[in-house]
């Protein structure tokens, strides 16, 4: 009874209020629905046309190449980075991308192929420690190709990674590569929805090489993701080079892949702009950091009128067996007859970390270094000394590595040096 009296009183008050509103010229409307601005929707990769760019290994060339990437019609750069690179330098690269109208997607390459959850944790720690350098609108690709195939380990490790990043104030869209060197479709099919239940601001990334030589598999997976509302992009892919007789057994029909991506509204990013080592040189989209070759044109336009041919590479100079505490890999990435690009990796096989290093060697010809990245150098005649940069002075023990690279000019022959010394200690050559 009391409830009925209260209801009658409410109706009377409401009637009076409406009458007053009508007399005063006020139009009454139902209340507007509450805006759920705090709810973050899953992002879309639609329209992404990108190139992977190896900034961590070719600092100056890759940075300069951003202009060429833009001028050739690409709109996205997946920034290849590692934890030995500085957050401040990564910010400069991101800022340059934005200035050019390129979407930057930085990724950490350190633990490629790893299935150890602690490795993923280390990548998350780096992002947390360097979050002040990453603007909130930048997509963060936590780790390149980390994780096991078809595994709850992949799911659980990424759940933990997401929660750690969010609890430390990182609100950016998080990009998650599938396991199995990025090529496994089952991780995404089985566990992506569970991760989206943890956080909706995610983008999943599949890499398509030798495991994706079947167009039916490509179509089935991409269509599955689209129909099931899974945010997906193709973060790396290759093509049918040398009829699959390549180091990745890759016969991917890239033209078909690109066509289906466009039809389904899925973005794609080719591997990679330039700088691959000799066995991966067929995946260079340019040979000079600026001019599209067969592969570059295929990624850019989805078709090409020319056919690929193997890139000529110099015959490697025989080297001594790999042994000893320090090992140097001196790799000529590109040689054009009067100059070359060289990548150098120093590996520390000892039980003690190296904190601050200088690598010396002697050229056997008239080679002259013209520019060097990830270090500083001096050259007197044929004698060269390279000292670490501020961000890569530390070489972990038991297999830790650091990298630097340089361009050189020469005439005659370009033989590889073999007499490397690290802080005065002779090195083995790989």
Q: Which residues are catalytic?
A: 78, 144-145, 207, 209, 236, 271
CA distance 58 to 342: 10
Secondary structure, 3-state, the chain: CHHHHHHHHHHHHHHHHHHHHHHCCCCCCCCCCCCCCCCCCCCCCCCCEEEEECCCCCHHHHHHHHHHHHHCCCCEEEEEECCCCCHHHHHHHHHHHHHHCCEEEEEECCCCCCCCHHHHHHHHHHHHHCHHHCCCCCCEECCCCCCCCCCHHHHHHHHHHHHHHHHCCCCCCEEEECCCCCCCCHHHHHHHHHHHHHCCCEEEEEEECHHHCCHHHHHHHHHHHHHCCCCEEEEEECCCCHHHCCCCCCCCCHHHHHHHHHHHCCCEEECCCCCCCHHHHHHCCECCCCCECHHHHHHHHCCCCCCCCCCCCCCCCCCCCCCCCEEEEEEEEEECCCEEEEEEEEEECCCCCEECCEEEEECCCCCEEEEEECEEEEEECCEEEEEECCCCCEECCCCEEEEEEEEEECCCCCCCCCCCEECCEECEEC
Structural tokens at position 415: 């033989």
CA dihedral defined by 116, 118, 124, 130, rounded to 10 degrees?
Answer: -120
| Phi, psi for 373 (deg, rounded to 5) | -125, 155
Half-sphere exposure at residue 318, Cβ-oriented, CA atoms within 13 angstroms: 2
Rg value, the chain, Cα: 27
Query: From residue 389, how far is each of 84, 85, 370, 373 by CA, in Å?
Result: 10, 10, 17, 9
CB half-sphere exposure, 111, CA atoms < 13 A: 21
User: What dihedral do alpha carbons 157, 122, 168, 40 form, nearest 10°?
Assistant: -50
């Amino acid at each position: 009874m009391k409830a009925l009296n209260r209801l009658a009183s409410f109706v009377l008050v409401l009637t009076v209020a409406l009458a007053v509103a009508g007399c005063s010229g006020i139009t009454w409307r139902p209340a507007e629905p509450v805006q759920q601005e705090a709810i973050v929707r899953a992002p879309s990769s639609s329209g992404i046309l990108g190139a992977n760019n190896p900034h961590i290994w070719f600092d100056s060339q890759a940075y300069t190449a951003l202009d060429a990437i833009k001028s050739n019609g690409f709109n996205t750069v997946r920034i290849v980075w590692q934890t030995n690179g500085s957050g401040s330098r990564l910010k400069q690269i991101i800022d340059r991308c934005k200035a050019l109208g390129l979407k930057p997607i930085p990724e950490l390459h350190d633990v490629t192929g790893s299935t150890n959850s602690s490795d993923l944790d280390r990548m998350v720690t780096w992002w947390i420690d360097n979050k002040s350098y990453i603007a909130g609108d930048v997509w963060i690709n936590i780790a390149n190709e980390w994780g096991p195939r078809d595994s709850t380990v992949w799911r659980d490790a990424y759940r933990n990674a997401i929660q750690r990043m969010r609890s430390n104030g990182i609100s950016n869209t998080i990009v998650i590569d599938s396991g199995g060197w990025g090529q496994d479709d089952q991780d995404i099919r089985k566990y992506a929805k569970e991760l989206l239940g943890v956080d909706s601001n995610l983008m999943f990334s599949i890499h398509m090489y030798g495991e994706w030589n079947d167009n039916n598999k490509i179509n089935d997976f991409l269509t599955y993701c689209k129909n099931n509302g899974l945010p997906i992009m193709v973060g790396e892919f290759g093509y049918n080079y040398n009829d699959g007789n390549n180091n990745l057994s890759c016969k991917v029909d890239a033209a078909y892949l690109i066509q289906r991506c466009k039809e389904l509204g899925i973005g794609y990013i080719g591997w990679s702009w330039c700088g691959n080592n000799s066995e991966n040189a067929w995946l260079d989209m340019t040979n000079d950091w600026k001019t599209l070759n067969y592969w570059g044109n295929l990624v850019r336009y989805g078709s090409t009128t020319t056919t690929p041919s193997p890139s000529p590479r110099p015959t490697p100079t025989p080297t001594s067996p790999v042994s000893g505490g320090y090992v140097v890999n001196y790799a000529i990435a590109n040689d054009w007859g009067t100059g070359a690009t060289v990548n150098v990796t120093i590996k520390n096989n000892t039980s003690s970390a190296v904190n601050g290093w200088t690598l010396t060697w002697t050229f056997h010809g008239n080679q002259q270094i013209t520019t060097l990245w990830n270090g500083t150098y001096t050259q007197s005649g044929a004698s060269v000394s390279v000292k670490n940069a501020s961000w890569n002075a530390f070489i972990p023990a038991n297999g830790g590595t650091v990298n630097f690279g340089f361009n050189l000019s020469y005439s005659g022959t370009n033989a590889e040096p073999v007499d490397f010394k690290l802080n005065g200690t002779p090195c083995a050559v790989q």
